[in-house]
Structure 1
């Protein structure tokens, strides 16, 4: 395997672990750009590594993880814009 594939996998693991530790220690919240960004980039690293190793269940799980994180990240960023609807059941952003 090329070294870059292994680096992507280990970096992905590290980023997801960092996100989980920071969330568990209440240093960041689940609605933070940092938390969702770490998860999106980390899962992308797992997708690259899993694909190269032919680990399709891991690829599938991490593609879904990436999509959920990307969706959450887009909601967080849209909520920061004044006048943008946040979504059903969500309070409007406080100015």
Structure 2
């Protein structure tokens, strides 16, 4: 497979990941949790790579911001999960999910 074709496949897979995440969330089939965020991260990385190769800087910028937002969301999910686990094992109050 040529590099050009690989970049196109990566870009289309990224677009599919973002659309799948959004579609599943919007239809109520997926919560805005870890799976949703991982699909968003994968899509953003793939589209950013495609955008870099094609020198589509607006697309790269949007997808880098999308990636940072997804990483922040995953960090928040991990913190809440850790707080709940700590509360269950140490009888401390857990922070509710937002």
**Could you tell me the TM-score, scaled by structure 1's length?**
0.83
Contact (CA 8 Å) 1:80, 1:93: kept in 2 or not?
A: no
Q: Larger % of helix: which?
A: 2
Q: CA RMSD of the aligned region, Å?
A: 1.8
Q: Following superposition of structure 1 onto structure 2, how do residues 8-87 of structure 1 map, counting pairs within 5 Å? A: 8-30=10-32, 32-81=33-82, 82-83=85-86
Instruction: Report how many aligned residue pairs link the two structures.
Output: 87
**Could you tell me the TM-score, scaled by structure 2's length?**
0.81
Between the aligned partners of 1:57 and 1:93, the Cα distance in structure 2 is 36
Structure 1 stretches lacking a partner, 5+ long: 85-90
Contact (CA 8 Å) 1:22, 1:28: kept in 2 or not?
A: yes
Q: Deviations over 1:45-69 (max 9, x none)?
A: 0000000000000000100000001
Structure 2 stretches lacking a partner, 5+ long: 88-93
Between the aligned partners of 2:56 and 2:27, the Cα distance in structure 1 is 32
Extract structure 1 runs of 4+ deviating beyond 2 A.
none
